[in-house]
């Protein structure tokens, strides 16, 4: 989540009159940063991941695994440890530790769910390939440190969604009954929300702005004994404590679907995000665009969330659940009523795929931005008048069609153009699958960054490291060869939907660009295995005759995208491109061998040798002796599944049946 400013938050009704002011000031702050930082140049790559954890609490007597709501206590304890270090106690100082490569002290953060933790490396990783070997040990260390600050019956697990969040009966420790005044959910209590005032306010204001509770319907996975047609039996139709209790009587819960009605179902799920610092703004814009088409591919490949609210569903990924869980659009904005109070019909939630490319590279064609998007035109004009170019102004003007959801009265009074709080208010509540992050302030040492946001968190640190390292190596390869992954942005959105389908990684095809090498390489070698790394694309010879955009891409399986197609004209595969990049740079044998292990995971996930976490979890449930083949994930099955996730997460279980599928051919 974005910044945690402190102060007095306004309700939606109080905040609404300030929306234009916050947006105007946000643009003013952005322009101030952009003007001073647009010519920032730096050489080094810095990057870092974010891993989110569920904190689970076991009750060994009843063989139950619930969500522990002790986030605040655990974070406080972690911070206390940090103070001890700083005071020079027996634990080594942060500085001492950070000076040794690979020995950074991780940083822990709060997250939306009161049962979640987020951890990042204490300092970003550098650009040396050898640094990549510190990623997995760093992730392992985070898990160990987190665990040290929990009780004996608590444990951190890296599972994207908690299977029994929102089931009838207790699923948190301690237990609270559902149906509080903030989310007004019939399934989850408000006590699952991080009590920091920003989070309940965000939850309530999304609901108020929308005019109803958020509404998520996931197709159920029909197993042998699942009632057909399925009607979600956990929905209560007869409540009347809040006006929102009428949502289900007005058809919010769809037949054949698992119905959810609160922000916590989405923002309570865990992901793996990667942020890169580029050497300058132009490189950041290139990376933003080039990684954009990879978002859905990596979502499908990292799929890890087949269970929601106690049911196996027919989808494998969390993305659309979060999208629905923070969808603050009114009925007018969703096109259900003629526009009257609102300005636009908006096709997407604030949490959705990217809708416009931003780079000015020669490989970009205007046809790739094939989706008409609403823009805040007066604010866009201000950006253009300030000197910003059209594609970047359009990007921000699109983000700025949204209202600020949480406004602190202090931030209205204490406005400074040198800050970025008003800008971040809008920026950090536009949760797109890529984020373009300007420096926090005009004077900041931190540069222009790009965040890759679509991946699901993996059960083990080996996998989390593999996915992170794959993305880092891919960015190096993209920049080194000047690769071009552009496809029309509407196809990226279509791919995003495809990525959710059960087992999409093996059974679906995705739109992908056929010829990704810039012309000077393409002329020499279509396969790209013999290309040498080059400089920028500015040396590219005269542009070749461009054909129709539709001829530039086709449908490919993820196996083809990663591992390549047969034949001299077939797509060479991203992994072989990364390998030729590695061949072209100086890298010692040990590093090269270790990196090969990580690339091998991506290769095997893509060709089906190893299962996604989603498939593994689904199979775990379906082959459990106590599973009743009715799609329901019971207390007993959940307990064993969470224990298995803990075992694997701790790097144990090798050689046992747990390993089957995930890291061994089933």
- State in angstroms the smallest separation of the CB of 445 from ligand ADP: 8
- Rounded to whole angstroms, the Cα distance separating 543 from 633 reads 57
Minimum CB distance to Mg ion smaller for 53 or for 610: 53
Q: Does 29 bind ligand ADP (CB under 6 A)?
A: no
- Rounded to whole angstroms, the Cα distance separating 132 from 125 reads 8
Binding-site partner at residue 48 among Mg ion, ligand ADP, none, CB < 5 to 8 Å by type: ligand ADP
**What stretches of 178-234 adopt beta strand conformation (E)?**
216-219
In the set 50, 190, 424, 461, which binds Mg ion (CB under 5 A)?
A: 50
Binding-site partner at residue 634 among ligand ADP, Mg ion, none, CB < 5 to 8 Å by type: none
Q: Does 454 bind ligand ADP (CB under 6 A)?
A: no
Minimum CB distance to ligand ADP smaller for 36 or for 109: 109
Q: Does 432 bind ligand ADP (CB under 6 A)?
A: no
Residues 327-386 contacting Mg ion, CB under 5 A: 352
Long-range CB pairs of 135-138 (<8 Å, 24+ gap) are: 135/49, 135/465, 135/468, 135/469, 136/461, 136/462, 136/464, 136/465, 137/102, 138/102, 138/104, 138/106
Binding-site partner at residue 522 among ligand ADP, Mg ion, none, CB < 5 to 8 Å by type: none
Minimum CB distance to Mg ion smaller for 1 or for 549: 1
Residues 248-277 contacting ligand ADP, CB under 6 A: 273, 275-277
- State in angstroms the smallest separation of the CB of 439 from ligand ADP: 9
Evaluate whether 286 touches 140 at the Cβ level (below 8 Å).
no
Minimum CB distance to ligand ADP smaller for 48 or for 293: 48
Q: Report angle CA 592, 274, 616 to the nearest 5 degrees.
A: 80
N-term to C-term CA, the chain: 38
In the set 449, 491, 513, 632, which binds ligand ADP (CB under 6 A)?
A: 449
Each residue of 28-56: b (16+ CB within 10 Å) or e?
bbbbbbbeebbebeeeebbbbbbbbbbbb
Q: Report angle CA 176, 181, 183 to the nearest 5 degrees.
A: 80
Q: Does 375 bind ligand ADP (CB under 6 A)?
A: no
Evaluate whether 461 touches 140 at the Cβ level (below 8 Å).
yes
Q: Where are the alpha helices (DSSP H) in 48-134?
A: 71-86, 94-99
# binding residues, ligand ADP (CB under 6 A): 16
Minimum CB distance to Mg ion smaller for 480 or for 493: 493
- Rounded to whole angstroms, the Cα distance separating 456 from 270 reads 7
- Contacting residues for 5 by C-beta, under 8 A, at least 6 apart: 198, 408, 410, 411, 421
- State in angstroms the smallest separation of the CB of 267 from ligand ADP: 13
- State in angstroms the smallest separation of the CB of 52 from Mg ion: 5
Minimum CB distance to Mg ion smaller for 352 or for 403: 352
Contact pattern from residue 202 through residue 231 relative to ligand ADP, giving x for each residue in contact according to CB under 6 A and a dash for the rest = ------------------------------
Residues 31-60 contacting ligand ADP, CB under 6 A: 46-50
Choose the stretch contacting ligand ADP; rule: CB under 6 A; options: 204-212, 399-407, 444-452, 576-584.
444-452
Q: Does 446 bind ligand ADP (CB under 6 A)?
A: yes
- Rounded to whole angstroms, the Cα distance separating 493 from 459 reads 27
- State in angstroms the smallest separation of the CB of 118 from Mg ion: 4
Both tokens assigned to 10: 């306004």
Minimum CB distance to ligand ADP smaller for 384 or for 446: 446
Choose the stretch contacting Mg ion; rule: CB under 5 A; options: 112-120, 378-386, 531-539, 618-626.
112-120
Choose the stretch contacting ligand ADP; rule: CB under 6 A; options: 116-124, 135-143, 172-180, 261-269.
116-124
Residues 505-534 contacting ligand ADP, CB under 6 A: none
Q: Does 118 bind Mg ion (CB under 5 A)?
A: yes
The size of the chain, in residues, is 666
Binding-site partner at residue 446 among ligand ADP, Mg ion, none, CB < 5 to 8 Å by type: ligand ADP
Binding-site partner at residue 91 among Mg ion, ligand ADP, none, CB < 5 to 8 Å by type: none
- Rounded to whole angstroms, the Cα distance separating 294 from 434 reads 10
- Rounded to whole angstroms, the Cα distance separating 458 from 610 reads 13
In the set 24, 28, 59, 451, which binds ligand ADP (CB under 6 A)?
A: 451
Residues 67-96 contacting ligand ADP, CB under 6 A: none
The residue whose Cβ lies closest to ligand ADP is: 48
Binding-site partner at residue 207 among Mg ion, ligand ADP, none, CB < 5 to 8 Å by type: none
Binding-site partner at residue 124 among Mg ion, ligand ADP, none, CB < 5 to 8 Å by type: ligand ADP
Long-range CB pairs of 525-533 (<8 Å, 24+ gap) are: 526/568, 526/569, 526/572, 527/568, 527/572, 527/576, 528/481, 528/572, 528/576, 528/577, 528/580, 529/572, 529/576, 529/580, 530/580, 531/481, 531/580, 532/584, 533/480, 533/481, 533/581, 533/584, 533/585
- Contacting residues for 230 by C-beta, under 8 A, at least 6 apart: 220, 222, 255, 256, 257, 631
- Tell how far CA 286 is from the center of its chain: 20
Residues within the interface to ligand ADP (CB under 6 A): 46-50, 109, 120-121, 124, 273, 275-277, 446, 449, 451
Residues within the interface to Mg ion (CB under 5 A): 1, 50, 118, 273, 323, 352
């Amino acid at each position: 989540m974005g910044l945690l400013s402190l102060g007095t938050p306004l309700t939606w009704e109080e905040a609404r009159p300030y929306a234009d002011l916050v947006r105007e000031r946000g643009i003013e702050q952005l322009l101030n940063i952009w003007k001073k930082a647009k010519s920032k140049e730096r050489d080094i790559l810095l990057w870092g991941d974010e891993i989110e954890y569920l904190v689970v609490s076991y009750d060994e007597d009843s063989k139950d695994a619930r969500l522990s709501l002790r986030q605040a206590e655990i974070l406080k304890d972690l911070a206390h440890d940090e103070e001890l270090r700083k005071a020079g106690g027996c634990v080594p100082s942060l500085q001492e530790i950070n000076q040794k490569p690979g020995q950074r002290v991780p940083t822990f953060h709060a997250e939306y769910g009161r049962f979640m933790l987020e951890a990042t490396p204490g300092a970003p990783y550098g650009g040396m390939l050898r640094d990549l070997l510190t990623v997995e040990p760093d992730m392992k260390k985070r898990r160990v440190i987190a665990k040290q600050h929990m009780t004996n019956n608590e444990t951190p697990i890296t599972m994207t969604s908690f299977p029994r969040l929102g089931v009838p009966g207790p699923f948190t420790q301690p237990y609270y009954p559902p149906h509080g005044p903030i989310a007004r959910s019939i399934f989850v209590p408000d006590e699952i929300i991080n009590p920091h005032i920003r989070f309940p306010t965000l939850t309530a204001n999304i609901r108020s702005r929308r005019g109803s509770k958020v509404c998520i319907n996931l197709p159920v996975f029909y197993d042998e004994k699942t009632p057909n047609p399925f009607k979600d039996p956990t929905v209560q139709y007869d409540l009347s404590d809040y006006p929102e209790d009428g949502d289900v009587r007005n058809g919010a819960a769809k037949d054949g679907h698992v119905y959810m009605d609160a922000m916590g179902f989405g923002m309570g799920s865990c992901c793996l995000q990667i942020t890169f610092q580029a050497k300058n703004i132009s490189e950041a814009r290139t990376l933003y665009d080039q990684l954009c088409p990879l978002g859905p591919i990596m979502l499908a490949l990292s799929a890890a969330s087949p269970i929601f609210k106690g049911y196996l569903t027919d989808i494998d990924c969390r993305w659309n659940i979060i999208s629905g869980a923070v969808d603050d659009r009114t009925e007018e904005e969703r096109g259900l009523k003629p526009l009257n109070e609102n300005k636009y019909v908006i096709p997407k939630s604030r949490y959705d795929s990217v809708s416009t490319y931003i780079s000015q590279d020669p490989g970009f064609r205007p046809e790739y931005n094939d989706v008409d998007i609403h823009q805040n035109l007066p604010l866009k004009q201000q950006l253009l008048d300030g000197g910003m170019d059209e594609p970047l102004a359009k990007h921000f003007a699109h983000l700025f069609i949204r209202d600020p959801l949480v406004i602190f009265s202090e931030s209205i009074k204490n406005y400074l153009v040198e800050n970025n709080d008003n800008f971040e208010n809008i920026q950090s509540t536009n949760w797109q699958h890529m984020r373009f992050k300007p420096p926090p302030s005009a004077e900041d040492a931190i540069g222009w960054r790009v965040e890759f946001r679509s991946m699901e968190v993996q059960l083990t640190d080996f996998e989390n490291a593999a996915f992170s390292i794959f993305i880092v190596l891919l960015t190096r390869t993209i920049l080194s060869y000047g690769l071009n992954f552009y496809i029309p942005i509407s196809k990226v959105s279509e791919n995003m939907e495809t990525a959710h389908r059960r087992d999409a990684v093996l059974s679906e095809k995705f739109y992908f660009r056929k010829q990704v090498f810039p012309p000077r390489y393409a002329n020499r070698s279509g396969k790209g295995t013999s290309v040498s790394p080059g400089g920028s694309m500015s040396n590219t010879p005269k542009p070749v005759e461009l054909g129709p955009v539709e001829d530039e891409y086709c449908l490919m399986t993820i196996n083809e995208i990663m591992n390549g197609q047969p034949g001299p004209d077939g797509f060479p595969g991203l992994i072989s491109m990364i390998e030729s990049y590695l061949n072209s740079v100086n890298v010692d044998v040990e590093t090269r061998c270790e990196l090969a292990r990580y690339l091998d995971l991506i290769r095997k996930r893509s060709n089906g040798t190893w299962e996604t976490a989603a498939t593994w979890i689904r199979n775990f449930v379906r082959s459990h002796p106590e599973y009743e083949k009715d799609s329901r994930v019971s207390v007993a099955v959940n307990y064993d599944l969470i224990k298995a996730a803990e075992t694997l997460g701790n790097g144990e279980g090798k050689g046992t049946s747990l390993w089957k599928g995930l890291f061994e051919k089933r």
